Amino acid sequence: MDSLTQAVLGGSITGVALHRYIGRKSVLLGAALATLPDLDVFIRYADPISSMTYHRGFTHSLFTLTAFAIVLTIIWRLFKPHSAYSTRRLFLALWLCLITHPLLDAFTSFGTQLWWPTQAIPTSWSSIFIIDPIYTIPLCVGAFTALFCRPSPTTQKLLVWGLIISSAYLAWTVAAKYWAEHKAKQHPILAKQRVIDTFSTPMPFNSLLWRVVVRTDQEQDCEIIYSLLDKGPQEALCLPHQRHYALVADQHELLQRLEWFTGGWLRYDPTDGVLVVTDLRMGVGPGNNSFRFAVAEQDAEDQWQNILPYRWPSTTDLRELKHVMQRIYSSTPPLPLETWAQRAKLATPPSNDAPADP
């Protein structure tokens, strides 16, 4: 999730536990601690796949953050041995503030390595977009009130209700996700195909409009757009995932890591002698995907040779966001899925000879 949301979530948790004892410092403490796990974005890697797949790694591990909370509690008690609140309360406040960061991240589509250092596939419940005002605003009300006001029953209630409302909304997004998948699987485009697997994620800034990617036994990934307000058929487009090109991953360590990180939700496209791999989980439709990488090139004998991956141009156009927002409440006009997909095919590599910066 975005940094503001993480900060006000952490500030609300420590505010509920400690505001009556240390006032606004509790909110500042929680906001600072809740943003610490994202400091891994400053670690630089040699290629964009590593930058992507090592993010939300060890700094988001429940094991790492639990150990960190224990150390912080011990240090805190060494400097404040005679506090009005118990060590248990202090530990729970710090621990919940830290671990709710990766847990909330796990509700997005990116993938969070909750169980690092194990090799479990990164967790991605994908029920909420990385920025969702409906989730964030109740937390902001409580956290900012506690930041600028003295401890009082009203302040405490605002903090508690902010956490209750945001948590209830998060539960709603899970229910909405499963309903969107259920309705999408009834689309006529799937009538003669058997569903192998499904991945769904909300469109930007809301939990009413969904992208549902359905993998079928016809070696296709069918993307279906569904709004919970829809009354008729939704727009859909099936494209071959061409996963036979994944054989290249047998000798490509970074591509193997990307396969693991995404749970296999990749599409392979040979483009003018370059093998381009697309992460299907993030974007607003086929061709409008956020993460695309060049991973191999053909030699003179048409054999694929691994290369150091570099970012392939994304065709996402922010000017289309207005159309996406309109699609929440109206299916007319539909999103131009075929146009997006065709535009992605025409995308060209970086103009210079050197790979793009990760």
Any idea what DSSP says for residue 144?
H
* Number of domains comprising the chain: 2
* Structural domain for 149, as ranges: 3-176
The residue from 111, 146, 176 where one domain ends is 176
The residue from 107, 141, 176 where one domain ends is 176
Say if residue 203 is in the same domain as residue 220: yes
Say if residue 130 is in the same domain as residue 208: no
With b for 16 or more beta-carbon neighbours within 10 A and e for fewer, the 225-264 pattern comes to bbbeebeeebbbbbbebbbebbebbeebebbebbbbbbeb
Say if residue 171 is in the same domain as residue 196: no
Q: Determine the Cα–Cα distance for residues 179 and 258; give it in Å rounded to an integer.
A: 29
203 domain residue, yes or no: yes
* Residue-by-residue DSSP string for 254-298: HHHHHHHHHTT-EEEEEETTEEEEEETTSEEETTEES-EEEEEEE
135 domain residue, yes or no: yes
Say if residue 221 is in the same domain as residue 288: yes
The residue from 125, 153, 176 where one domain ends is 176
Say if residue 26 is in the same domain as residue 127: yes
The pLDDT profile of the chain, 358 residues, written as one tens digit per residue, is 999 999 999 999 999 999 999 999 999 999 999 999 999 999 999 999 999 999 999 999 999 999 999 999 999 999 887 788 999 999 999 999 999 999 999 999 999 999 999 999 999 999 999 999 999 999 999 999 999 999 999 999 999 999 999 999 999 999 999 999 999 999 999 999 999 999 999 999 999 999 999 999 999 999 999 999 998 888 999 999 999 998 876 779 999 999 999 999 999 999 889 999 999 999 888 888 889 999 999 998 888 899 999 999 877 777 788 999 999 999 999 999 998 888 887 666 665 444 444 4
350 domain residue, yes or no: no
* Residue-by-residue DSSP string for 171-210: HHHHHHHHHHHHHHTT-GGGTTS-EEEEEEEEPTT-SSEE
User: Which pTM does this prediction carry?
Assistant: 0.92
Say if residue 194 is in the same domain as residue 172: no
341 domain residue, yes or no: yes
Say if residue 40 is in the same domain as residue 59: yes
Say if residue 10 is in the same domain as residue 146: yes
207 domain residue, yes or no: yes
